Chain A
C-alpha cells in the first residue's frame, strides 16, 4: 500500500506570514506531484504540480520537491484568510493511468 503522510494540523499562521505544508511519500517511482486545496464542503481543486527536483513558483505558491528524500512541500507566502482550507498532497502512482494517492491533508487556518 502506497503511503502519503501529512501533518493533519490545524496549522495556524497569522495573515501575511508564510505557511509551510509538508508531505512525505513511499512510492519511489512517483514522478509527478500534485497539491490540491479543499475548502470545507467543497471538492478538491488543483493549485500546483511539480515533477522536477527543486522549486516551482506560481504566484504566492511555491512547491518544493526532493525525490531522494521522498519529500514534497508547499509554501504559501503572504497568507490570506481565504487560504484557510485543507491542503492535499497527491503523488502520482508509478503504475500509471494518472492514478494518485492522496494524503489525508493538512488543515490551514490563517488568522486575520
Chain B
C-alpha cells in the first residue's frame, strides 16, 4: 500500500512564526504536491515538485516556499505565518502514469 505521511495532524502557530510542514512518501514517486483545502474553495495547489530539487508554482504560491532535497520528502514552508493561512494542508504524491495519493492532512491554525 502507498503510504504518505505528514508530520503533524494538528498545528497551532502564532502570526509571524516560521512554519514547516513535512511530507514523506514511501513509494518512490517522482511527483509530489502541496494543496490547501478551505470550505467553499476546494483543493488548491500551492506548489508541486516533479524531481529532487525541482519545484513549480501552483495556483496560490504567495506566502509559501517548498523544499525537496530527497525524493521521498517534500516540505512546505510558511516564512511568516499569517491568519489567512489557517487551513487544512494536504500533501500528495504520485507518478505520471498513476493517480495522486494523499496524506492525512495537517490542520494549521494561525493565531
- Interface, chain A (partner B; CB < 8 A): 1, 8, 34, 42-46, 49, 88, 96-105
Contacts and interface: CB of A to CB of B under 8 A. Distances in A.
Contact of A97 (B48, B90, B101): B48
B96 interface: yes
Interface residues of B, number: 26
Nearest to A45: B102
Given A44-B90, A97-B50, 8 more contacts: A42-B104, A44-B102, A88-B43, A97-B56, A97-B96, A98-B94, A98-B100, A99-B58
Nearest to A95: B56
Interface string B60-103: 00000000000000000000000000000010001110111111
Interface residues of chain A: helix, strand, loop or mixed (majority):
loop
Given A1-B59, A43-B103, A102 B43 contact: yes
Given A1-B59, A99-B48, A44 B43 contact: yes
Given A43-B90, A97-B48, A98-B31, A88 B103 contact: no
